[in-house]
Every structure is written in structure tokens, then in C-alpha cells.
Amino acid sequence: MNKCGIAKKDLVCAGELGREEIFELIEAAGKLKKKPLSKRRALKNKTLALLFQKPSNRTRISFEVGMKQLGGHAMYLSPQEIDMGVREPVKDVACVLSRYVDVIVARVYKHEDILTLAHYSTVPVINGLSDFCHPCQALADIFTIKERCKNLKRAHLAYVGDGNNVCNSLLMVAAFTGTKMTVSTPKGYEPNKEVFEKAVNIAKRNASSVEYFVDPAMAAKGANFIYTDVWTSMGQESEREKRLKDFQGFQINETLMGFAEKDALIMHCLPAHRGEEVSDIVDGKNSIIYDQAENRMHMQKAILLKLMCE
Ligand code: CP
Ligand code: NVA
């Protein structure tokens, strides 16, 4: 129930979904991938607002195309257009958009703004990335991992790099699905402490484990999926020079891959900075980055249907 007494579902963080719901989404995404254009246009005449404060390729386009395939349509609202929090308060944006559209996907700087949007809107709000988490990315990624290894209990995902929004969401999704996950970051760039502790406990309950290593080689050891993300996320540009120094030794390259399983696959949410967090190995035969990008659309269609039709 939100502020307006309306019962509606949002997707703010992956952690608010349970194990069962995540597996349901994985299954639904698989079906949608096989049959992208169902005859029953479930979201016919529905409108999605893409309220973005930061740039995007994958998130914006996969939601726009996905919405269209489901029979609805999407409208992109650029930062200049709405200027949320500056031109008018987040609360007013939430209440006004709720009178026009049927669902909102928001990409924001401050996670707090997603919470405020979800709190005041009367239509579902989906987090399309905040400084705290990126649930659509992690859900699509676990679907991509499952396509490759069928049984997630046999997968070992190693995340090396910045303990950022993507890492936080991967931790939750891995823990709920019983996917073993190891993380290595430079000191001071660890994932959110609460998220990490929660993931450790959930993983235990699912007969799995989530572990942190200072040494990236230890995290990569025996992994069959090696994941990284940019060292400088959107909004952190002023820290770029310092981060480039602090992250030395945390690049995904041939040397690090040598500690992983022989056929380990390389993952990256993109955009990638070749020569920084990843070498040109990201363009090699073991890279599944474009599967990840494609699967964003299938998974997000499953999310839209879950929030809007169930
Ligand atoms: N991975 C991802 O969210 O990409 P965009 O920033 O291009 O949307
Ligand atoms: N961590 C990155 C992810 C981009 C999809 C960022 O927030 O910029």
C-alpha cells in the first residue's frame, strides 16, 4: 500500500523480491525470449514513462522496444525536460505522472528519489538504476547465467572491481537463487555493508555462499563467470583520476582469467572501458556481454507483466 492507499507493486531493489519471484521472472523471461510477440498484447494502450536523469543506451531502448512488443508504448522524458527535484519536487513529478501514465521507469542519481517516486506514485515504479542498485540489470544477468549453466547451484559468479550499484543488485539476486558469488574490490570500494551481510545470510539459507576477498585472484579462483563494471560510475566523474589509481590490479584480463575455470565466461553490464576495468578480452570468444544486453529486454518485459498484470 503506498501513500495514496493504492495497492501496487514496484521494483525498487532486487532484494524486495523473494527467491520464488526471481525464479518466476527467469522462467517468464525465457518464454518471452522464445516468443517475443505474443498475440495477446497484454499491455495494449498502456503507457510507460522513462524518467531519466542520466544517459542510457540499453535501459532506455530495451524498455521502449519491450513495451512496444507488449502492445503498449513508451515516452522518454529527458533530464532537461523534467529536471526532477529542481524544476519541481519529486513528489509532484510522481503524482502528476501517475495521472497520465500506467508505469514509470526512473534512472536517478540519488536512490532516495526512487523511494520518493515509489512512495507517491499510484502506478508501478521500476528502478532503471540509482546510485545504490540496478535491479533490472542483475535480474537479466542471472537469466543470462542460467541460460549457460542451467542449474544455478553449479554456477560460481566472481565480481571484481567497484562494489557499486550493479554489484549490490547481483549480490541479492545471486543469494536468492543459490548462485555462489565471490567479490573482490579495492579497499574503500566494498559493496554496501548491509546488502553484503544480508546476501551472506540469504545465501546460507539457500545452501550457497557469498564471500569477499581482498585479492582478486582469490575471488576469481574456480569461477565460471567473471563480472566487472566501470570503475567510475555515472555521477562520480570528479573521482575518475583517483579511482584509476585505486583500482590498479583489479582489471579483468588474461592473467586474472587464469585463476578461473578454463572456459569461464566474461560478463559486463556495459558500457565498458577497454583498458581500464577490462582488457580486450571482453571482445573474445568467452565474452557474453551482448547476451546480457539482449536479455535486458526479455527480463524487463517479464517485470512489466509481473507488476502490471498479476
Ligand atoms: N547496463 C546499462 O544499464 O546500460 P545503459 O546505461 O546504457 O542503460
Ligand atoms: N555502475 C554503472 C552502471 C552503468 C550501467 C553506473 O552507475 O554508471
CATH code of the domain covering residue 101: 3.40.50.1370
Q: For the purposes of burial, counting CB atoms within 10 Å of the CB of 119, is it exposed (0-12), middle (13-18) or buried (19 or more)?
A: middle
Q: DSSP readout, 195-254?
A: HHHHHHHHHHHTT--EEEESSHHHHHTT-SEEEE--SS-TT-GGGHHHHHHHTTT--BSH
How many H helices and E strands in the chain?
12, 9
Nearest atom (ligand 1) to Cα of 292: 1
pTM, rounded to two decimals:
0.97
| 152 and 117 part of one domain | no
| 268 and 147 part of one domain | yes
What does the pLDDT look like over 201-249, one tens digit per residue?
A: 999 999 999 999 999 999 999 999 999 999 999 999 999 999 999 999 9
Range(s) of the domain holding residue 31: 14-134+297-309
| 145 and 275 part of one domain | yes
In a mutational test of the pocket of ligand 2, which residue from 131, 164, 227 has the highest number of ligand atoms less than 8 Å from its CB?
164
pLDDT at position 40: 76
| 143 and 209 part of one domain | yes
At 277, give phi and psi (nearest 5°).
-70, -15
| 145 and 234 part of one domain | yes
Q: What residue type is 166 in one-letter code?
A: V
β-pairing, 265-268 vs 125-127, is unpaired
**Cell numbers representing residue 263 in the block:** 572456459
Q: What residue type is 227 in one-letter code?
A: Y
Provide the CB-side half-sphere exposure for 100 (13 A, CA): 13
User: Based on the structure, what is the number of domains in the chain?
Assistant: 2
Active site residues: 107, 134, 137, 229, 269, 296
Nearest atom (ligand 1) to Cα of 136: 3
| 120 and 251 part of one domain | no
Look at residue 9 and tell me if it is in a domain.
no
Closest residue CA from atom 3 of ligand 2: 233
Taking the centre of ligand 2 as the mean of its atom positions, its distance from the CA of residue 229, in whole angstroms, is 7
| 160 and 276 part of one domain | yes
| 161 and 68 part of one domain | no
| 29 and 121 part of one domain | yes
Ligand with the closest atom to the CA of 169 = 2
CA 162/CA 164 separation, integer angstroms? 5
DSSP 8-state secondary structure symbol assigned to residue 71: T
pLDDT tens for the chain, 310 residues long, are 444 455 789 999 999 999 999 999 999 999 999 998 876 799 999 999 999 999 999 999 999 999 999 999 999 999 999 999 999 999 999 999 999 999 999 999 999 999 999 999 999 999 999 999 999 999 999 999 999 998 999 999 999 999 999 999 999 999 999 999 999 999 999 999 999 999 999 999 999 999 999 999 999 999 999 999 999 999 999 999 999 999 999 999 999 999 999 999 999 999 999 999 999 999 999 999 999 999 999 999 999 999 999 8
Look at residue 190 and tell me if it is in a domain.
yes
Taking the centre of ligand 1 as the mean of its atom positions, its distance from the CA of residue 77, in whole angstroms, is 16
Taking the centre of ligand 2 as the mean of its atom positions, its distance from the CA of residue 101, in whole angstroms, is 26
| 91 and 226 part of one domain | no
Look at residue 34 and tell me if it is in a domain.
yes
pLDDT at position 38: 74
In a mutational test of the pocket of ligand 1, which residue from 57, 164, 297 has the highest number of ligand atoms less than 8 Å from its CB?
57
Nearest atom (ligand 2) to Cα of 229: 1
Closest residue CA from atom 3 of ligand 1: 59
pLDDT at position 228: 98
Question: What is the number of other CB atoms lying within 10 angstroms of the CB of residue 125?
Answer: 29
In a mutational test of the pocket of ligand 2, which residue from 227, 269, 296 has the highest number of ligand atoms less than 8 Å from its CB?
269
| 129 and 218 part of one domain | no
Look at residue 6 and tell me if it is in a domain.
no
**Chain mean position to CA 52:** 15
| 147 and 115 part of one domain | no
pLDDT at position 52: 98
pLDDT at position 21: 97
Look at residue 1 and tell me if it is in a domain.
no
Name the 3-class secondary structure at 275.
coil
Residue list, ligand 1 pocket, CB within 6 Å: 56-59, 129, 137, 269-270
Look at residue 2 and tell me if it is in a domain.
no
Taking the centre of ligand 2 as the mean of its atom positions, its distance from the CA of residue 38, in whole angstroms, is 32
Look at residue 7 and tell me if it is in a domain.
no
Q: Which residues of 228-249 are buried (b: 16+ CB within 10 A; e: fewer)?
A: bbbbbbbeeeeeeeebeebbee
